Structure 1
Amino acid sequence: MHPNIALIERFYSCFKVLDGDGMAHCYHDQIEFSDPVFPALKGSKAGAMWKMLCSQAQGFELVFSEAQADDTAGTAHWEATYIFSATGRNVHNRIDASFRFQDGKIIQHRDSFSFWRWSSMALGPVGMLLGWS
Structure 2
Amino acid sequence: MGSSENIIEKFYEAFANLDAERMIEWYHTDVTFEDPAFGILKGDQARNMWRMLCETQKGQDFTVQASNIEFNDTRGKARWEAYYTFSKTGRRVHNIIHAEFEFKDGKIINHVDRFNLYRWAKQSMGFKGFLVGWTAFFRKKLNKKVRHYLSEFENEQHNEKTLVR
* TM-score, scaled to structure 1: 0.95
Report the AA paired with residue 126 of structure 2.
G
Q: Secondary structure at the match of 1:40?
A: strand
Q: Is the 8 A contact 2:64 2:82 kept in 1?
A: yes
For residues 27 and 115 of structure 2, the distance between their equivalents in structure 1, rounded to whole angstroms, comes to 21
Distance 1:84 1:7, change over 3 A: same
- Cα distance in 2 for residues equivalent to 1:2 and 1:127: 44
2:85 is matched with which residue? 83
The answer to whether 1:44 aligns with 2:17 is no
| SS across alignment from 1:107 | strand
Match of 1:4 in 2: 4
Structure 1 residue aligned with 2:70: 68
Residue in 1 that maps onto 2:26:
26
Change (3 A) 1:2 1:122: farther
Of 115, 118, 123, 1:116 maps to 118
Check conservation: 1:5, 1:68, Cα contact below 8 A: no
Flag the structure with higher helix content: 2
Contact 1:5/1:67 (8 A) holds in 2: no
C-alpha distance in 1, partners of 2:122/2:104?
A: 36
Q: Which runs of 5+ in 1 are unaligned?
A: none
**C-alpha RMSD over aligned residues:** 1.2
CA offset digits 1:45-98 (Å, max 9, x no partner): 111101111111121111111111111111001101001112211100001100
Paired AA for residue 4 in structure 2: N
Return the letter of the residue paired with 1:52.
M
TM superposition shift of 1:23? 1.0
Amino acid at match of 1:83: T
Deviation at 1:5, TM superposition (A): 4.4
CA distance in 2, matches of 1:117, 1:2: 37
Asked if structure 1 preserves the Cα contact closer than 8 Å seen for 2:4 and 2:73, the reply is: yes
User: Helix, strand or coil for the counterpart of 2:133?
Assistant: helix
Correspondence for 1:132: 134
Deviation larger for 94-103 or 82-91: 82-91
Report the secondary structure of 1:82's partner residue. Answer: strand
Partners of 1:78 and 1:116 lie apart in 2 by: 18
Does the Cα contact within 8 Å between 2:14 and 2:23 map onto a contact in 1?
Answer: yes
Identity of aligned residues (%): 47
Q: SS of 1:96's equivalent?
A: strand
Structure 1 runs, 4 residues or longer, greater than 4 Å off = none
Q: Distance in 2 between matches of 1:8 and 1:67?
A: 7
Cα distance in 1 for residues equivalent to 2:109 and 2:132: 31
